[in-house]
Amino acid sequence: MGRKKQVDLGQDKNVIDAFERAVRGGDEPEIYVLRLYVTGTTPNSRRAIENVRKICEEHLQGRYELEIFDIYQQPDLAREVQIVAAPTLIKKLPLPLRKFIGDMSRTEKILLGLDVKPKE
């Protein structure tokens, strides 16, 4: 009745990669959009802010956007993005969306979740 079409997934992968590069503007590095949600100026919040800034400067220098939100001052944000614990770091871009909870001191784990290779 119908003919089955054989699909070369390798070729499709190349097309998808080319499309994603075009959307990003060629071979420019991906920009990371990060949101850190903290609770006031507690030691844990300060430590998370320091750790995330250090990770960004060492591994994403010049290609990240980091916004820090205090959910005590903006409680609606916590509900909006479904924050259940703080500090929480959300990687919005590049996809997939990822969430990290804690003081962000486990650099290797954060880099793995961000899909960033650690510097040698």
Domain locations in the chain as residue ranges: 30-114
Which residue did the predictor score with more confidence, 46 or 2? 46
Which residue did the predictor score with more confidence, 101 or 2? 101
Which residue did the predictor score with more confidence, 65 or 10? 65
Q: Using CA of residue 18, residue 23, residue 28, residue 34, what is the dihedral sign? A: negative
**Which CATH code is given to the segment(s) 30-114?**
3.40.30.10
pLDDT of residue 25: 56
pLDDT of residue 78: 86
pTM of the model: 0.74
Sequence-ordered list of residues with C-beta below 8 angstroms from that of 36, at least 6 positions apart, any chain: 48, 49, 52, 66, 67, 68, 69, 87, 88, 89, 90
Q: Taking CA 63 as the corner, what is the angle to CA 40 and CA 112, rounded to the nearest 5 degrees?
A: 75
List, edge to edge, every strand of the sheet that includes 64-70. 64-70, 32-38, 88-93, 98-101
pLDDT of residue 9: 46
